[in-house]
Structure 1
């Protein structure tokens, strides 16, 4: 599965919980959240646009770092 890295403007556990919640609703994703560095790594067959749109539902600023 393709892996993508995003920065998400998370400042607390509540923020990372919001990211977890929206990604779990999307389904078909494996992800890791690194709260101190504000990074989210996602393995998914979903398009980058879909992942960006989903992460933005948290109301946080989201930036694509790199597809790997």
Structure 2
């Protein structure tokens, strides 16, 4: 599985909770959230476009930083 890094405009626990909820619905992904750095790492075989679209469902600005 590939590990992707995304920058998500999260400011609080509620934001990271929203990210957790949308990613859990995706299924078959492992992820880590670093709230202070506003980073989300997602380990998945899904396309980057699918992951981006899923993260955008939480209503935050999302930027793809590449694979890590």
TM bracket (short chain): over 0.9
- TM-score, length of structure 2 as denominator length: 0.98
- Please give the alpha-carbon distance, in whole angstroms, between the structure 1 residues aligned to 2:37 and 2:11: 10
- Please give the alpha-carbon distance, in whole angstroms, between the structure 1 residues aligned to 2:35 and 2:57: 18
CA-based RMSD of the aligned residues comes to 0.5
Structure 1 stretches (4+) deviating beyond 2 angstroms? Answer: none
- TM-score, length of structure 1 as denominator length: 0.98
Gaps of 5+ in 2: none
Q: How many residues align?
A: 68
Residue 67 of structure 1: how far off its partner (Å): 1.5
Gaps of 5+ in 1: none
1:60 matched residue in structure 2: 60
